[in-house]
DNA sequence: CTAACCGTATTATATATATAATACGGTTAA
DNA sequence: TTAACCGTATTATATATATAATACGGTTAG
């Protein structure tokens, strides 16, 4: 069963996006694996304190990306192939890194200073 | 006159937020200074291809933060004090850096690997 | 002075996001 | 079998975001 123990609502981004992001990062980290059972819509919505429809929206999108498999009436499971893991890893790593670099460049921060900042705030 | 030459619409975040972010980064970079004239709502909306009301919302919020001063009928200007610059710089640097670190940690990436990624994609 | 701007405000419409309340039929374990 | 779940769907309401069209009076340069 996938754990949402470390999930925290933070950004101003939509909740369903944060759920998707959390799961994808878990896939990259290896804490979420192929055929892992995922919490039901009702259970996760209760756990996160959000509406079941919000969880359903996240799950539906992940299903559209073939990362979740659902059968009406039964539990839902992750369906994560190796090729998908590599793809998600690349997308998330590049996306997050490039977002930081773009911000730093717009602020006129040098690469060296940016690296120092990451070092400084890591812990 | 503030330049929006390097403004690019990218995120999924609200347009008015992106405008605010762009201006704040310019303040940190020093390309936007105290008493600089800012484009009128109509001019900037036309330049960015968005609705005047969207620009107005961004400007109004910056005005609430005392970073813009407007007089009905006249041009608007930046009002940026040294203390504000330091504050905005700290907020943006910390915010962006911590966002990257949070993402990397959730993906199980080590500090060293994260630094290598920033190095790799900088140019 | 006056025309061309300017900030500001209002009303309407549309979409995205989130919640709430319900309902239906499928699946599964006791 | 049946009760407790499950996925799925629908309807309604509310807020945020974005656009569109329009209007009012203030400011300023020619």
* For residues A17-30, average pLDDT: 98
Q: What is the DSSP code string of B32-55?
A: S-TT-EE--HHHHHHHHTS-HHHH
Nearest CA in chain A to B12: A13
* Residues B40-69 pLDDT 10s: 999 999 999 999 999 999 999 999 999 999
- How confident is residue A119, by pLDDT bands cut at 50, 70 and 90? very high
* Residues B83-113 pLDDT 10s: 999 999 999 999 999 999 999 999 999 999 9
pLDDT score of A65 more than 90: yes
Alpha carbon B49 to its chain centroid, in Å, reads 18
Q: Which residue in B106, B112, B113, B115 has the most chain A C-beta atoms within 10 A of its own C-beta, making it the best mutation to test that interface?
A: B106
C-beta contacts of B72-76 below 8 A and 24+ residues apart:
B75/B37, B75/B38, B75/B40, B76/B37, B76/B38, B76/B40
Alpha carbon of B40: minimum distance to chain A alpha carbons (Å): 22
Cα–Cα distance measured from residue A50 to residue A8, given in angstroms and rounded to the nearest whole number? 12
Cross-strand pairs, A68: A78
Give the length of chain A: 123
In this complex, the nucleotide whose C1' atom is nearest to the CA atom of residue A45 is C19
Nearest CA in chain A to B101: A122
- How confident is residue A77, by pLDDT bands cut at 50, 70 and 90? very high
Contact call for residues A97 and A114 (beta carbons, < 8 A): no
Cα–Cα distance measured from residue B54 to residue B117, given in angstroms and rounded to the nearest whole number? 35
Cross-strand pairs, B76: B38
Cross-strand pairs, A38: A76
* For residues A99-113, average pLDDT: 97
pLDDT score of B11 more than 90: no
Helical packing angle, B82-106 and A82-106, nearest 10°: 170
Q: Which residue in B19, B88, B100, B111 has the most chain A C-beta atoms within 10 A of its own C-beta, making it the best mutation to test that interface?
A: B100
* pLDDT score recorded for residue A11: 79
């Amino acid at each position: 069963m996938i754990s949402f123990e470390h999930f925290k609502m933070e950004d101003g981004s939509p909740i369903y996006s944060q759920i998707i992001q959390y799961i994808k990062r878990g896939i990259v980290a290896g804490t979420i694996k192929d055929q892992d059972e995922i919490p039901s819509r009702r259970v996760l919505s209760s756990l996160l304190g959000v509406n079941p429809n919000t969880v359903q929206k996240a799950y539906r999108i992940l299903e559209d990306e073939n990362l979740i498999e659902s059968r009406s009436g039964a539990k839902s499971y992750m369906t994560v192939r190796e090729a998908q893991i590599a793809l998600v890893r690349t997308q998330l790593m590049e996306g997050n890194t490039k977002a930081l670099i773009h911000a730093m460049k717009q602020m006129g921060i040098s690469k060296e200073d940016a690296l120092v900042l990451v070092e400084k705030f890591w812990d």
